[in-house]
């Protein structure tokens, strides 16, 4: 079974704080993704990575950055959290040979 884990299920941060969301997958997948999920909007892609140290912007990268130093780990960074970044954040991974993405349990982030 594919296992994608996220470091926290719930996080509460203050405006202006630097926030790190961590994602780890154990299936040696080349591709990893960060989405945010908001009611009525579905999932929107923030960033993805197709290899170590490689990244590409998704649809809504503003206010976010990412880091992929190791194949199994993909970090999402909010340099200076703002209240409009309160959301559910979902990490996913997939192997290059398959099209299906596998998701982690999500992190609910509240920025006060």
Binding site for other proteins (CB under 8 A): 9, 31, 33, 40-45, 48, 50, 56, 58, 88, 90, 92, 94, 99-106, 108
**Exposed e or buried b for every residue in 60-85, given b needs 16+ CB within 10 A?**
eeeebebbbeeebebbbebeebeeeb
Q: Which residues pair with 70 in a beta bridge?
A: 73
We find the least distance from the C-beta atom of residue 94 to other proteins, in angstroms, to be 8
Residue nearer to other proteins on the CB measure, 84 or 99: 99
Of 31 and 75, which CB lies nearer to other proteins in the complex structure?
31
Tokens of 110: 């509240």
Least distance in angstroms from the C-beta of 55 to other proteins: 11
Q: How far is the CB of 88 from other proteins (least distance, A)?
A: 7
By beta-carbon proximity to other proteins, the closer residue of 58 and 63 is 58
14: DSSP letter: -
Q: Are strands 73-78 and 19-25 parallel, antiparallel or unpaired?
A: antiparallel
């Amino acid at each position: 079974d594919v296992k994608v884990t996220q470091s926290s299920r719930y996080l509460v941060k203050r405006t202006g704080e630097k926030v790190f969301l961590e994602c780890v997958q154990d299936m040696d997948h080349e591709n990893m993704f960060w989405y945010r999920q908001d009611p009525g909007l579905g999932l929107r892609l923030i960033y993805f990575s197709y290899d170590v140290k490689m990244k590409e912007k998704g649809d809504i990268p503003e206010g976010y950055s990412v880091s992929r130093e190791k194949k199994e780990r993909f970090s999402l960074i909010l340099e200076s959290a703002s209240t409009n970044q309160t959301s559910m954040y979902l990490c996913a991974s997939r192997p290059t040979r398959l099209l299906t993405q596998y998701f982690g349990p999500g992190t609910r982030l509240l920025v006060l």
